Structure 1
């Protein structure tokens, strides 16, 4: 699409209102705090195309599965993160005419997402049908200090008239999900009430009995003076509002303050919800909007201290990376081990807002390097807490032992109902195991292995043991009927990545068992007894590891994505007419499956994960073979290619892939931003800079850097937390500077040279 957002280092800015782009902007300008989030819907009435969305983390609904042909093993439901009570609503009527940007003439429209301080602001001028002109300025945020609080400041100034303003400030729980399988509404009414300037609405899900209580207070000022207004109660089922009638004067501003507390019975006793909501609201009101906003700015300053990436000389790249980091910090705070990272965060409903393998494969590295250890540990504990459900999932598919983690979940049960993914995209199990390795390798927290990790690893290894089949004629183990990371291939045999991650998982599980045996024999024996682990079982894993079949073409020197891949007509993407792209919007599924074209990294995903196991020539041959056939129609694709391109010295390809992932949503590359942003791709953007251009790795308990800088940049810098230290890495066209911003000394490796970096010291090395 044509770019319509201004390039700015710290803000996303839209000038001029185009209704055709409004739903895209609703996604991009979303706000959140890890506990709740809100699409950039207008506060006032809007009758044009919109996806109204207010979301509470962890509150979901098991929507009955809808498929045309039922198969044994299908999940009964798809877990949906719910569109919850609309808490931002304001009905604005001026002299009998409602303010609706779909109906009035709009000028001077500016929408800004201030990423530095964490708020959304909108200004515009409107001409009503009767010729009356007014200016509006709206500012809102959800607090990352008081996680259950949202605040709005809405300013109205009549330009060429005096008259009467009618404002209804309301809470509306009568909402629905656009992705509901049967168009049903998921909320039942519990309670609603109005008391002077306050209103409360409590609703409950039709299944699982989640209760959601919102309480609001509205204050109105003119020229900075609080008005003592007697509002009129507006009540109906799942709705409560207060109507105010206010005389307004030409060129004098009326300001509406709306404070809302949103609480759920996930966090509070059901019979205490209304009291808790009222108490939290009272605290917010006593602080006032300006204080809440100042606290918000200070809290965001602290977040940026650890996670900011600075790029000089390329505003588009700078804006892209900050937008992605901002959304990641809005989506997940790590404070609640019951929560995870939905692929759309709080920006939309697609994919159900549930947990995917994306968390372990793409998001974990960001939180490892930018937040305290407990946050990434909680991501792993989330999966540990779902282990029993993962074992149930395996039994439902006919396995006698082991655990199969779901492709999509909220509570550990599989809730994805496309057969080629539910039953076949089992490589997700390997990502869970790899996340344990990645976490321990990064943090050095080997205690996790004995506390939680070994149980998960053993059960995943058991799944792989049963999933492979032994082919006596070839004396090899194979994996039949799978879908690898490349979802443009279904039901294939011996996907190289799946086979490799399976055998690696069994090997890593054996290594952890040996580690526990050597370091804590009593703990080792405890797990052996609890898991019923036998020597012959571990020996079977060894046999599978040694005899696993990997498709490969010796002549080309590449690993084959799966058996028969070379039977396809191999055509590079650049030979396709652009009218065919994106394939998923122009080709039939049959045509896609028969083609050589690749949706995202598959073989290359394995070379990224197990990077240390392959030499540079092997990586180069496989990259050169597969990347030209990759259409990057998955949001998870460009980042892996960018990282590998950096390692191989393909500077232009690395930069191309970086910009594509960094601005995937801002520039709507895949024509799908309107239904939400791509949160896990955002984590991939961070990886592309830090692991790609920064050459950042952890090996043998040492931090390794091998940076290079794109020619388009003057410099770039990033920060990482490692073993208690915070390092700032600055790279320009001539040198690399590493600053230790803490008292903790450590050894690092820069361009293969070991350096002792003392506390609060900086070192500089030529590129």
Structure 2
């Protein structure tokens, strides 16, 4: 049974009524971020019920030593933890000495929480009667500034309803925090100083081992009925904590408000000796703008993001809410302003999965960022991997590879592998292919070839070397095989000849050889520089080519399909439709052994290959493989429904495409996999965008042009989206009987619509 408490709304995520069992789920769903930091939607005031406290700073992590029962050569030394950062949002509230706590109050009415995605803020309203029988009305609003990305702002107002009351606000900073997800219960933070000046508080701390220095800071202002009041605080300080007590007698019906500014300054951006002075500078800016001024800036910044990235859906509020939630969370996680950062699978919403980067970025996120931002943003994501090439070569060396072969990590913070489930760390090597594919995809979309001679070719050479060494020549088959792998479908481990992996290996080698030839011909100085640097020889390239030309692909003559791996047909092939619903999701009900022996597919595997390399296969081949594999797919990976939605649309199966779209867009809102309390599925949200633009809109690159084959679900009256293609912004508006194309650039462009050329000119609507 999926959850169903989020109110349908075009622009907001809304919860009405308070249910303690939903607190942790809502903390995930209502999370906020600004690309530089983020936080779960924890309450500002004390809450003694079950809660998952979480604040996170981009790029700050801790190497939690690997904990396994039996050490194997090649295991990563540590699992990189996204660190729970010091808490700056806290504001304890006392009413006549009684703590405001939604877990203990006598009565709670009118609880409403809203995440406004259009403007980028989070609010709560409720009326609570405390144990001492005082009733108060509470309104809060907070946001993390896009304008000043080291700053967050909170406005917390309280009105005594049934009597006068003495109200105390205690804004605090707390460095005594721990991770929910930790191997050894290590101490992650070491405090070097707690200080205060006037109404400002600071805690300076550094991470153990990684030595990131940060300053957590705050400053508060107090108001009665909107008029600022001067209250001298009582200051409480200990080695991990600082709070200010602001006490005020408040008449019945009057409004007492605290505005709190806070956040983090980090030595990734400042000299570590200057973190307090950097914080003071941010606070000075905050006070100058004030809460309302900062909120106006916030609205403007989000309006600018939505202007390019919004997708509208007419006639289906749940679908509209779903896509906007996905686009909103992607932009809260990564804005492309810092090439040292990447898109973590949980973003700033939880700690699961540890590292900040998976193959999801290259496979799913780059298309979204290419089309909704300027191409420099996608280029930064490619450069992130180039900057980690030496580490990828080290990772491969640890597993016995030589000569500059590169194996990119499954999970990473700094380029080193930091994932320690052997069947994934050592075997899910298809990640290398996604990184090469992203380089190809970037050039295909942007027409910017310069990245390849400057940086990309070195990455492609390292990856090709890896595939050549990883393949084994089988005398029995007289072919090259790839043994002991895990494909995208993680419900099959340690299999031989995963079709997707073998196909990627062949493609990567051929693409590397093609790029070498092109760079040699057209960028001679770059070619000579790279060939010398990596000691590339013709003899070596001949070895690669032998592997690519003679790669083995398992195939079933009986079913006329490629086999997911050598042993797939040995399984008992019972379709998902015959599974008892009480057994789903199987990863929460079955032993791992039973899952591995089953035919059930966690996510698109062969179909992932058909998605990447659609041009290499006919529609008939896609249909055959879709019909064979989809019935065994349980979609228990967040990355699965989007690929199936795109392919169902490609096959003209719009009802199926629509159902997959709803599943991917509302995966977290409706909690399909019963795990949203752990955090959101950020990277798969880019797949939701692809479901509409590439699925229903049919967007592809063909003959070096944008191509569309628009379709529309019967449940919708219309939908629209924009794409930035080679600095030309095109708006596509699809209704039940026509599609309009509009150009938001100053030069005409040609596109393909249903394979026919169409010219669109500025200020001229073209209807097809």
- TM-score normalised to structure 1 length: 0.99
Task: Extract structure 1 runs of 4+ deviating beyond 6 A.
Answer: none
2:91 is matched with which residue?
A: 90
Q: 2:210 aligns with which of 205, 208, 211?
A: 208
**Alpha carbons of structure 1 residues 179 and 261: separation in structure 2 relative to 1, 3 Å:** closer
State whether structure 2 residue 495 is matched by structure 1 residue 480.
Answer: no
Answering whether residue 195 of structure 2 is matched by residue 193 of structure 1, we say: yes
* 8 Å contact kept, 2:355–2:418: no
Deviation digits for residues 486-522 of structure 1, max 9, x if unmatched? Answer: 0000000000000000110001111111111221223
| Corresponding residue to 2:702 among 699, 711, 720 | 699
Work out whether residues 646 and 654 of structure 1, in 8 Å CA contact, stay in contact via their aligned partners in 2.
yes
Please give the alpha-carbon distance, in whole angstroms, between the structure 2 residues aligned to 1:182 and 1:106. Answer: 39
**Deviations along 1:660-708, whole A, 9 cap, x unmatched?**
0000000000000001000011111001011100101113320010110
Offset of residue 126 of structure 1: 0.3
Q: Deviations over 1:384-422 (max 9, x none)?
A: 000000000000011113000000000000000000000
The residue aligned with 1:25 is 26
Distance 1:522 1:118 in 2: 48
1:458 to 445, 456, 461: 461
**Counterpart Cα distance in 2 of 1:140 and 1:376:** 30
Quote the Cα distance in structure 1 between the aligned partners of 2:745 and 2:301: 20
Q: What is the match of residue 622 of structure 2?
A: 619
Is residue 314–residue 719 contact of structure 2 (8 Å, CA) maintained in 1? Answer: yes
Tell me which residue corresponds to 1:170. 172
Q: Does 1:336 align with 2:356?
A: no
Shift in Å at residue 524 of structure 1?
A: 1.8
**Aligned-residue offset at 1:16:** 0.3
Deviation digits for residues 89-147 of structure 1 (CA, Å, limit 9, x no counterpart): 00101001100111112210000000000000000110111221100000000001110
> Partner of 1:448 in structure 2?
451
Q: Which residue, out of 629, 646, 649, partners 2:649?
A: 646
Deviation at 1:2, TM superposition (A): 3.3
Q: Distance in 2 between matches of 1:523 and 1:398?
A: 30
The aligned runs of 1:31-110 (5 Å cut-off) are: 31-104=32-105, 105-110=107-112
Structure 2 equivalent of residue 536 of structure 1:
539
Q: Find the partner of 2:592 among 559, 580, 589.
A: 589
Give how far 1:299 is off.
0.5
Q: 1:529, CA displacement in angstroms?
A: 1.7
Q: CA deviation at 1:442?
A: 0.6
The residue number in structure 1 matching 2:607 is: 604
User: Does structure 1 retain, via aligned residues, the 8 Å contact 2:189–2:206?
Assistant: yes
Cα distance in 2, alignment partners of residues 163 and 516 from structure 1? 76
Pick one of 724, 745, 748 that aligns with 1:721: 724
What is the rounded CA distance, in whole Å, between the counterparts of 1:160 and 1:351 in structure 2?
Answer: 48
Is the deviation greater in 22-31 or in 233-242? 233-242
Residue aligning to 2:232: 230
| Alpha-carbon distance in structure 1 between the residues aligned to 2:141 and 2:724 | 33
Q: Is the 8 A contact 2:406 2:466 kept in 1?
A: yes
Is contact 1:494-1:550 (8 Å) kept? yes
Q: Which residue of 1 aligns with 2:244?
A: 242
Residue 494 of structure 2: aligned partner = 491
CA distance in 1, matches of 2:125, 2:498: 53
Instruction: Tell me if structure 2 keeps the 8 A contact 1:642–1:654.
Output: yes
Give matches, 1:253-292, under 5 Å: 253-292=255-294
Q: Report the CA distance between 1:353 and its aligned residue.
A: 4.5
Q: State the SS of the aligned residue for 1:83.
A: coil
1:696-752 alpha-carbon deviations (Å, 9 max, x no partner): 111332001011000000001111000111111001111111110111322100000
Counterpart contact for 2:214–2:272, Cα < 8 Å:
no
Alignment partners' CA distance in 2, 1:259 and 1:707: 47
Q: Distance in 1 between matches of 2:764 and 2:522?
A: 35
Work out whether residues 62 and 78 of structure 1, in 8 Å CA contact, stay in contact via their aligned partners in 2: yes
Q: How does 1:737-748 map to 2 (within 5 A)?
A: 737-748=740-751
Correspondent of 1:676 among 674, 679, 682:
679
Q: CA deviation at 1:4?
A: 0.4
Alignment of 1:747-766 (within 5 A): 747-765=750-768
Aligned counterparts of 2:263 and 2:344: Cα–Cα separation in 1:
23
- Provide the C-alpha distance between the structure 2 equivalents of 1:103 and 1:698, rounded to a whole number of angstroms: 58
How much has 1:456 moved relative to structure 2? 0.1
Secondary structure in 1 matching 2:59: strand
Tell which deviates more after alignment, 376-385 or 175-184.
Answer: 175-184
Whether the 8 Å contact between 1:494 and 1:563 is mirrored in structure 2 is yes
- Unpaired runs of at least 5, structure 2: none
Q: Distance in 1 between matches of 2:477 and 2:394?
A: 33
Q: Equivalent residues in 2 for 1:6-25 (5 A)? A: 6-25=7-26
2:521 equivalent in structure 1:
518
Moved more, 256-265 or 656-665: 256-265
Question: C-alpha distance in 2, partners of 1:339/1:238?
Answer: 28
Deviation at 1:555, TM superposition (A): 2.7
C-alpha distance in 2 between matches for 1:514 and 1:493? 32
* Shift in Å, 1:472: 2.4
Deviations 1:626-671 (A, max 9, x none): 0010000001100000001110111111011000000000000000
CA contact (8 A) 1:261 1:281 kept: no
> Which region of structure 1 is more displaced relative to structure 2, 533-542 or 20-29?
533-542
Contact 1:741 1:761 in 2 (8 A): no
Partner Cα separation in structure 2 for residue 353 and residue 70 of structure 1: 21
Q: Do residues 312 (structure 1) and 314 (structure 2) align?
A: yes
- Cα RMSD for the two superposed structures: 0.9
Residue equivalent to 1:708: 711
Alpha-carbon separation, structure 2, partners of 1:121 and 1:277: 25
Q: Is the 8 A contact 1:441 1:699 kept in 2?
A: no
SS of the counterpart of 2:214?
Answer: strand
- Aligned residues between the structures: 765
- The change in CA–CA distance for 1:353 and 1:405 in structure 2 (over 3 A counts) is closer
8 Å CA contact retained: 2:314, 2:717 = yes
Map of 1:547 onto structure 2 = 550
1:207-227 deviation digits (Å, cap 9, x = unpaired): 111111022111110011111
Give the superposition deviation at 1:556: 1.3
CA distance in 1, matches of 2:15, 2:187: 33
- Does the 8 A contact of 1:261 with 1:280 survive in 2? no
Q: Classify the secondary structure of the residue corresponding to 2:622.
A: helix
- The answer as to whether partners of 1:148 and 1:280 remain within 8 angstroms in 2 is yes
In the TM superposition, what are the counterparts of 1:427-446 in structure 2 within 5 Å? Answer: 427-446=430-449
Query: Which deviations, in whole Å up to 9, do the C-alpha atoms of 1:241-294 show, x marking residues without a partner?
Result: 111111111010011000114110111101111101111111111110000000
Structure 1 CA distance for aligned equivalents of residues 313 and 183 of structure 2: 44
Query: How many Å separate the matches in 2 of 1:760 and 1:193?
Result: 59
1:760 deviates by 3.1
TM-score (norm: length of structure 2): 0.99
Shift of 1:577: 0.8
Q: Output the CA distance in 2 between the equivalents of 1:365 and 1:421.
A: 25
Task: Confirm whether residue 2 of structure 1 aligns to residue 3 of structure 2.
Answer: yes
The yes-or-no answer on 1:634 pairing with 2:637 is yes
Q: Residue by residue, what CA displacement relative to the aligned partner does 1:574-624 show, whole Å, maximum 9, x if unpaired?
A: 111101110000011010000000000000000000111100011000000
Residue 578 of structure 1 corresponds to which residue in structure 2? 581
Query: Which residue is equivalent to 2:737?
Result: 734
